[in-house]
Homo-oligomer: A and B are copies of this chain.
Amino acid sequence: MNAADVTISEVGPRDGLQNTKHFMPSAAKKAWISAEAAAGVHQIEVCSFVPAKLIPQFVDAAEVLAHANAIPGLTPVVLVPNFKGCERALAAGARRLTVPISVSEAHSMSNVRKTTAQAIEDFVRMADLVRSQARAERPQLVGACSTAFGCSLQGVVAENDVLRVALALREAGADAISLADTVGYANPEQVKRLFRKVRKALGEDFDIEAHFHNTRGLGLANALAAYEVGVRNFDSTLGGLGGCPWAPGASGNVVTEDLVFMFESMGVRTGIDIGKLIDVRNTVFAALPDAELYGHISKAGLPKGFQPLSQTA
């Protein structure tokens, strides 16, 4: 395993799949997760414990998590939308749980039919449940501030609202906070300003992570801006999978392989073997022939004389 300066968390098997038309067979999901772990991706969000009747894609969540839990060196992450999902995830052996809380009231009502305050109350109960687990290693809980950079329903989201939610989640016992640009509204100035504010409020040592979409093309520029103000944990999806059904033609998450290329070319070690990562893209997506893929480095190829910092054996 290589030393790494940043943690790239692949969220494709969750964020990338939740809007795809077709069910990705469990075997293909497992092969994807295994192959990316072998390329040096040590954190992967593998599924969502959302009710299968809402998103049938995740009917096999427990099975996929069990597979991921058995991969040495991998920290699987699961998304948990509510208390019931948290119970299911813990029962299935989840070691790192991400709970999204919409800072935008409009988005919160539309997404989970709760006010932001009600969603935070649920988070407090989930944090208590996580703390009460009788395990050698307590599961980690991440509070994800959704729509932190703006909302397609509400428009502008006040930075003080983000601060308030982030503080409440840490207060409840979150081990880390993520700021998520759910609808691709963020710009680099805003990214720097908001991460600095949240860091100042939560303390230098508290783990604050970034989740960017590339809907308006600024995904990598925003990641660069976040890196410049000290962020070291980034979500992304292979092939940028995860286009939004409400913005047809617009791309999805930040593209993992392009993000890895940006960092490695800057001299920032990701621990990820970019050559192997591109191979994963090329093979895995045979299982998702209808999905729209994005990304540049897989098409253009690595620069002549490019020296990757991170390579696997």
Contacts and interface: CB of A to CB of B under 8 A. Distances in A.
B300 A216 contact: yes
Contacts of A220: 217-218, 220-221
Contacts of A245: none
**Interface range for A:** 35 or more
Interface stretch (A57-65, A129-137, A184-192): A184-192
B217 A258 contact: yes
Contacts of A153: 304
Contacts of A223: 221
Given A224-B188, A225-B224, A250-B296, A262 B303 contact: no
Nearest to A228: B228
A306 to B, nearest CB: 8
Contacts of A258: 216-218
B262 A187 contact: yes
Contacts of A188: 224, 262, 266
Contacts of A218: 220, 258, 261-262, 265, 296
Interface of A: 150-156, 183-185, 187-190, 214-218, 220-221, 223-225, 228, 247, 249-251, 255, 258, 261-262, 265-267, 295-297, 299-301, 303-305
